[in-house]
Amino acid sequence: LPQFRLFFDRRIQLGVLTVVFGAAASYVFYTYLTPIMRDEVHVPEQYLSVGLVIFGAACLWSNLYGGKLADRGRGVEPLTHIRPIYCAHAVLMASLVVAHWVTVYGALLLVVLGMFMYLQNSASQVLYMDVASQSHPGSLNLAASLNSMSFNIGIALGSAVGGLINGHFGLMWLGPVGALFLVCAIVITTMLRPFVAQERDFYADI
């Protein structure tokens, strides 16, 4: 039970919400990636598997580069540096609606969106572990599981909302809805910024 004190830390709450909304933004469209490639970007059926491999490679790059982004500070600071990335991601996600008419742009956009999918992961893991080490050393085991927990909640949320949007409005509107989730992530990372100065003082005294 003492481990659950971690959830009363404002930094942890904001970190979890950031990951939930960041994951939901990507999985709104990722759940329907093959139909989007086939019906919106008009990739021929025989090349869909090639397209999925290319998208997978972009996601692999996202994971690798996300590790480099996590090296930019300690505690909440790396995740606050993701805010400009969320802004660019939101604009690109909203532009997915154009893919229906400009197929070349749509194909390139899907690759770029794959490169954005996991950039937050390492930075959020740094937040969870560093905050637990600073203030809740008895909660390190729970902190280690928060990233996957938060991301899975985001996947469920994004997939569910994506299903509703696709059912009522069609595939082309999945991108703009994903952008709304990213706006939420932008707001939350902005709320994390006041903690950066506090943590710098903490680490300076170590």
Range of the domain at 134: 29-201
Residues near 77 by beta carbon (within 8 Å), at least 6 away in sequence:
196, 199, 200
Does 155 reside within a domain?
yes
Does 85 reside within a domain?
yes
Question: What is the total count of domains within the chain?
Answer: 1
Does 70 reside within a domain?
yes
Closest by alpha carbon to 21, among 149, 151, 122? 151
Does 206 reside within a domain?
no
Does 176 reside within a domain?
yes
The CATH number of the domain holding residue 156 is 1.20.1250
Does 164 reside within a domain?
yes
Positions in the chain whose pLDDT score sits under 70: 201-206
**For the segment 145-174, what is each residue's pLDDT rounded down to a tens digit?**
999 999 999 999 999 999 999 999 999 899
Does 16 reside within a domain?
no
pLDDT of residue 5: 85
Q: Any long-range contacts for 188-194 (C-beta under 8 Å, 24+ apart)?
A: 188/14, 188/17, 188/18, 188/21, 189/14, 189/18, 189/79, 189/80, 189/82, 189/83, 189/86, 190/83, 191/14, 192/11, 192/14, 192/15, 192/18, 192/76, 192/79, 192/80, 193/80
pLDDT of residue 202: 65
pLDDT of residue 4: 84
b/e map 116-132, b = 16+ CB within 10 Å: bbbbbbbbbbbbbbbbb
**For the segment 4-27, what is each residue's pLDDT rounded down to a tens digit?**
888 999 999 999 999 999 999 999
Does 7 reside within a domain?
no
